[in-house]
Structure 1
Amino acid sequence: MRYSRVGLSGLVVSRVGLGMMSYGDTSRRAWHLDADAALPLVRAAAEAGGTFFDTADMYDQGASEEVTGTLLREVFGSRDDYVLATKVYFPMGDAPTSRGLPRKHLHAAVDASLRRRGTDHIDLYQIHRWDDATPIEETMCALDELVRAGKVRYPGASSVYAWQFAKAQYTARAHGWSGFVSMQNLYNLAYREEEREMIPLCRDLGVLPYSPLARGFLTGSRTRGGGRSTVRCRSDPLAVDRLPLSTVGAIEFLGVVVLALVGSHSGRNLAALALAVGGVAVLTDVRLAGERLGFGYAFANCVGFMLYMVLGHRIATTGPGWRT
C-alpha cells in the first residue's frame, strides 16, 4: 500500500480507501451488508494497509456510521491507526433544523456522528452538498468552530460546483478560518467531467474520487443489451440514473473491453485496473474532457484512454517508476 498526504495538509491516508456506504441496515438495500458480513472485507482492507474509511451520516440514517465505528474498533488496535471520514448535509429527521449546513445542524450532527462511531473526533468532516439556504460564511465559520473544539481535524467537501468550492475557500481564507483540504467528487473512467474545472482547481488539495468503478460498470457488471450480473446493479437505482445505458456510448464500453484485455495480460482484475488507471489520471492531471465533436472527440478520447491504460498497466505490472 502507498500513502499520501491529503493535499498540502498533514493528514496521511492510504492511496486506496474503503467506502462504507454498503455496510449498515440490510433492510434498506438488497446489496447492503450487516456488521458480521462486512467484517471480513474491512479486515482485508486493513491487512492490505488501508487506513482511510469514509461514510456519511445519512447512509442508512446513521446505521453505516455505527457499523463503521464498531468494525474499526475491532480491526485496529488504536484510534490513531486509521482515518475516519464522514459527511453532513442530507436530512437526518423530519424537523427543518435536521438538515443542511447551518451552524445549529453542524454542531448537532457532528455530536451525533461521534456518538454513533464511538469516538471523540472525526478526521475528515465533509459537506456532502452545497446549501443554498445557508450563507457560506456561516457554514465555514461553524466548521472552523468544530476544528477549534477538537471534534474535527480537517474540513472537506463533496459534490459541489467549482465556483462554489472556490467561493468557500476564499471565504475561509479571508476570515482566517480552516478551509477545505479535500474534494470528494464523482470521477471515474466513464465520467470525467471533473477534469474540466474541479481537478485543476484542486492542484494543492486532496482529490478523493467516489464511485471509481462507476457503480460496478467498469468491472463489466452491465452490458449494452441491458444485462446485469450483480445484486447491486440490478437493485441500485442510482446505477441507472447516473449512467443510463441509453447515454453510454461505444467509447465507454470500449474502456471496459480494454480493461479486460489488459487485465488478462497483467493478471489483475477489472476493479484493480480501473482504480489504478483512475489514480493515474488524477496524479498526472491528464485532461481528456472536451466538447462532443463527433469522430474527432471520439478519436481523442480513444487515444487518451489508451494513454491511461499504458500507465495503468505499468502500475499493475511493475509499479510506478516515479515518486507520488
Structure 2
Amino acid sequence: MTYTRLGDTGLEVSRLCLGCMNFGSAEPWMMNDRAASVELIHEALDLGINFLDTANVYSTGESENIVGEAVASANRDELVLATKVYFGMHDGPNSSGLSRKHILDQVEASLDRLDTDYIDLYQIHRWDDDTPIEETLEALDHLVETGRVRYIGASTMTAYQFTKALYTSDVEDLSRFTCMQPEYNAVDRHEEANLLEVCEGEGVGVIPWSPLAGGFLTGKYERDAEPESGLRADADEYTRNRFTDENWAVLDAVRSVADARDATPAQVALAWLLHRDVVDAPIIGPRTSAHLHENAGAVGIDLDADEIARIDAPKTPRWPAPGKD
C-alpha cells in the first residue's frame, strides 16, 4: 500500500479508503455477518489500509459498532477513522440535519459506537437547507477545539454551497473543510464540472464514493442482458440507470485496457481514478476477501496517457448530470 496526504493537510492516508457501508444488515446486499465483517476489516488493515469511512446512518449505527470492534486491537495512532452526520437516526424532531444540537448529540453517539476518544475525519453527509451554514460550522469548530474531532469534511453538494462554506470558515475564522466526498468514477464524471475544480483550487482532498459505479465498472453486467438475481442492479434503479450507450463505451475501453494488462476491469477503473491529480483515496466497498485483494492490486497499476484518454473519450462531463437527483 502507498500513502498520500489528505488535501493540503499533513494527515497521511492510504491511497484506498475502506468504505464500511456494507458492514451491517439493513439491506440484503450488505454482508449481514458481523464476524465476517470484522475479519474483512482486519484483512484491510493487514494490507496497509489505514483509512476507514463509515456513517452513523449506515444500518443505524451498526456499521460504526462493527468498525469499533474491528479496530479495537489496532494501532490507533496510525488509523484514520472517518464518519458522517446528517441523515435521520430516529423518529421525531431533531432527528436529522446539521443543527448544533443534532451534530453534538450524534458525535457523542458515534464516539461511543466506534469506541474511540476522537474521530479523525467528521463529515457532513449532505447540505442542510434548513440550518444556517454558520451554525453548522460553529458546531464543527467546537468539536475540533475540544478534541473530539481532528479534521472536518463534506460530501455531495453544489460547488456554490461548498464554496460558500469555505468562504464562511475563512471569514469567521472557523475550522475549514479539508476534504470532499463526491460521487466520482469513469462513468459518473459530472463532478468534474462541479466540485472538483473547487477542491483542486482550494487544496481540499477528494475521496470519491462509488468508484466502481455500483459495480458497473467491474464488468459483471452485459449489454442487452438482465442483471443476475442478487446483483445490485437487479433491484437498484440507480445502478440500472448507468446502462447507457456512453457508459457501455467506457466499460469497453476499461475492459480492453484490462485485457492488455492482465488486470481486471475493477483494477483499471480504480487505477484511472488514482491517476486523477485531485483524487487522494477512492472509497472501495468490498464484500469479500477476493474483492478486497483485487481492489488493492489497483494501486500498482500505472496507466499511460493513451489508456487514460481511451477511457476518458466517450464521456463529456456535465453539471447537473442527466438522470441524477
Place the TM-score, normalised by the shorter chain, in its bin.
0.7 to 0.9
Shift of residue 223, structure 1, vs aligned partner: 2.2
CA distance in 1, matches of 2:64, 2:232: 23
The 1:230/1:208 distance shift into structure 2, 3 A limit, reads farther
Match of 2:68 in 1: 69
Secondary structure in structure 2 of the residue aligned to 1:224: coil
Secondary structure in structure 2 of the residue aligned to 1:216: helix
CA distance in 2, matches of 1:101, 1:72: 28
CA distance in 2, matches of 1:170, 1:249: 38
Among 238, 255, 277, the residue aligned to 2:250: 255
The 1:242/1:101 distance shift into structure 2, 3 A limit, reads farther
Q: Is the 1:277–1:308 Cα contact (8 Å) retained in structure 2?
A: no
Match of 1:85 in 2: 82
Match of 2:127 in 1: 130
Match of 1:184 in 2: 181
Match of 2:41 in 1: 42
CA distance in 1, matches of 2:86, 2:154: 11
Cα offsets for 1:228-277 (capped at 9, x unmatched): 2473425552xx225515xx432311222222222222122121111110
Report the TM-score when normalising by structure 1: 0.83
Shift of residue 225, structure 1, vs aligned partner: 1.9
Unaligned runs of 5+ in 1: 285-303, 312-324
Q: Is the 1:188–1:212 Cα contact (8 Å) retained in structure 2?
A: yes
Displaced runs of 4+ in structure 1, greater than 6 A? none
Among 181, 199, 204, the residue aligned to 1:202: 199
CA distance in 1, matches of 2:247, 2:311: 17
CA distance in 2, matches of 1:12, 1:49: 12
Match of 1:101 in 2: 98
Cα offsets for 1:177-221 (capped at 9, x unmatched): 101000000000111000013111001110110000001000112
Shift of residue 40, structure 1, vs aligned partner: 3.5
- The one-letter code sitting in structure 2 at the alignment partner of 1:106 is I
Q: Is the 1:124–1:156 Cα contact (8 Å) retained in structure 2?
A: yes
Secondary structure in structure 1 of the residue aligned to 2:30: coil
CA distance in 2, matches of 1:16, 1:185: 15
Q: Is the 1:103–1:138 Cα contact (8 Å) retained in structure 2?
A: yes
- The one-letter code sitting in structure 1 at the alignment partner of 2:69 is T
Q: Is the 2:250–2:311 Cα contact (8 Å) retained in structure 1?
A: no
Q: Does 1:216 align with 2:215?
A: yes
Secondary structure in structure 2 of the residue aligned to 1:80: coil
Cα offsets for 1:7-58 (capped at 9, x unmatched): 1112110011110000012x53333332212234222222221111001100
The 1:120/1:215 distance shift into structure 2, 3 A limit, reads same
The 1:124/1:305 distance shift into structure 2, 3 A limit, reads farther
Unaligned runs of 5+ in 2: 280-304, 313-325
Q: Is the 1:183–1:207 Cα contact (8 Å) retained in structure 2?
A: yes
Q: Is the 1:185–1:209 Cα contact (8 Å) retained in structure 2?
A: yes
Among 106, 118, 131, the residue aligned to 2:115: 118
CA-atom RMSD, angstroms?
A: 2.2
Q: Is the 1:18–1:54 Cα contact (8 Å) retained in structure 2?
A: yes
CA distance in 2, matches of 1:69, 1:166: 33
Q: Is the 2:5–2:12 Cα contact (8 Å) retained in structure 1?
A: yes
CA distance in 1, matches of 2:235, 2:178: 31
CA distance in 1, matches of 2:230, 2:62: 21
